[in-house]
Chain A
Amino acid sequence: MTLATPPKLRFATVWLAGCSGCHMSFLDLDEWLFELAERVEIVYSPVASDIKVFPEGVDLCLVEGAVANADNLELALQLRARSKVVVSFGDCAVSANVPGMRNLWAGVEGGSRQSVLKRGYVELADTGAQHPHAPGIVPELLERVLPLHELIPVDHFLPGCPPSAERIRTFLEALLRGEAPPMEGPAMLGFG
């Protein structure tokens, strides 16, 4: 008789409004990724799968990036509805970080959306200055960029810009053992 291997955890990573640095740090886990791959099945990830639709029945989902546009918002609501455990992965997800800097213009005429589009596509354009406008293709910016937990319930926070591979590994190892991640001290906490 062979012993049944425990079912693999259904694991997802999501990339919202961030620079992908948290995912790069995740890839910095190097050979430990082989150990992780023995414990989890990657069902959705911009760096490890080509699946376009966030699947049902996800056990653990790491979310990089703030919520800055309509697509981010839709995916955030979807991943929450379809995941058991949601993790704010890195400073942009935890605090809105650099993407959130445009919120400083929320109170000026036209709001932050208009201010950032005008600056990026009109004022700084060398030629062909125009607002991007392609409904259904280019997602609309939200007026405010928000950290993930201001929109959906978040189970764990993994700060850092990006969190180091070592921090990510300690965090995931604890979760895989069924324990709460040891979020204390400079090794595990700290923005920037």
Chain B
Amino acid sequence: MTTLQLQINGRAVSAAGDATVLEAIRSAGLQVPTLCHLDGLTPVGACRLCLVVIEGHPKLEPACVTAVADGMVVHTHTPELDTYRRMAVELFFAEGNHVCAVCVANGACELQAVAVEVGMDHSRFPYQYPRRQVDASHPLFSLDHHRCILCTRCVRVCDEIEAVHVWDVGYRGSSCSIIAGLDQPWGEVAACTNCGKCVDVCPTGALFRKEDGSGEKQPHPERAHQLVEARTEHHWHNQ
């Protein structure tokens, strides 16, 4: 594997030839906020929080889906990026119905954490209050669309790791939503194995276990990566 040299925030960093800019940033001990990215799942560049400036590129690039190149010069925290990131997070809050005080994920939510990270003390965008549904048809879990940020982690973990593909993205624009099966109630989708992987990796309170009340959700975003690693390295405990 070739090793490439790049510069991130003025620091010389080397990265494997097949690395993404996000991997290079993290391997250098630096951070950018992310929501849709999850180690173990194919990156999709959906949330736009990891946008970076790459010198010579005419537009901002999402670090999670951009390949490193030799001599690349990357900036992760310019005033422009900080402004856009905070705006993006404010838009997440304004476009859904995020009432943290009564949410299962309160205190363990990645959207909340990112809001703190970008310094959001309020949303400058007016709240939209869309009327969305709660799908409680599954015997063990529920999906509250009010809190879904369309990161598609659930779609990818079910497809790529559980290999069942219960979830998909349906509709367009502001009607865009996660759908189960052929847009059926989740509980009617026979393919679902009840494995709970989608619930474990959901960054918000959108997917949750029925027994969890306010502030009781315990997400396990690391599970996707652990499973991929266990499969490729054959790290099964009972072997």
* Known contacts A88-B122, A94-B121, A101-B97; A190 and B116 CB within 8 A of each other: yes
Q: Does A185 contact B (CB under 8 A)?
A: yes
Within 8 A of B (CB), among A155-179: 157-159, 161
* Known contacts A94-B122, A95-B122; A192 and B100 CB within 8 A of each other: yes
* Known contacts A157-B122, A192-B106; A97 and B112 CB within 8 A of each other: no
Within 8 A of B (CB), among A66-101: 88, 91, 94-98, 100-101
Cβ contacts under 8 Å, B186 to chain A: none
Q: Does A136 contact B (CB under 8 A)?
A: no
Q: How far is the CB of B106 from chain A (nearest CB, A)?
A: 4
How far, in angstroms, from A33 to B115 measured CA to CA in the complex? Answer: 30
Q: How far is the CB of B36 from chain A (nearest CB, A)?
A: 21
Q: Does B227 contact A (CB under 8 A)?
A: no
Complex interface: stretch among A7-15, A44-52, A103-111, A125-133: A103-111
How far, in angstroms, from A154 to B99 measured CA to CA in the complex? Answer: 21
* 8 Å CB contact of A189 from B101, B119, B126: B119
Q: How far is the CB of B83 from chain A (nearest CB, A)?
A: 15
Chain B residue with Cβ nearest A105: B131
Cβ contacts under 8 Å, A96 to chain B: 127
Cβ contacts under 8 Å, A108 to chain B: 131
How far, in angstroms, from A189 to B100 measured CA to CA in the complex? Answer: 13
Q: Does A183 contact B (CB under 8 A)?
A: yes
The reply to whether B116 and A161 form a contact with Cβ atoms under 8 Å apart is: no
Chain B residue with Cβ nearest A94: B122
Q: Does B120 contact A (CB under 8 A)?
A: yes
The reply to whether B127 and A189 form a contact with Cβ atoms under 8 Å apart is: no
Within 8 A of A (CB), among B102-159: 102-103, 106-107, 109, 112, 115-116, 119-123, 126-127, 129-131
* Known contacts A94-B121, A106-B129, A150-B126; A192 and B101 CB within 8 A of each other: yes
How far, in angstroms, from A25 to B215 measured CA to CA in the complex? Answer: 19
How far, in angstroms, from A101 to B146 measured CA to CA in the complex? Answer: 11
Cβ contacts under 8 Å, A185 to chain B: 116
Q: How far is the CB of A34 from chain B (nearest CB, A)?
A: 29
The reply to whether A183 and B101 form a contact with Cβ atoms under 8 Å apart is: no
* Known contacts A186-B116, A189-B116, A190-B115; A104 and B129 CB within 8 A of each other: yes
Nearest first, the 4 A-B pairs at minimum CB distance are A192-B100, A161-B101, A157-B121, A103-B129
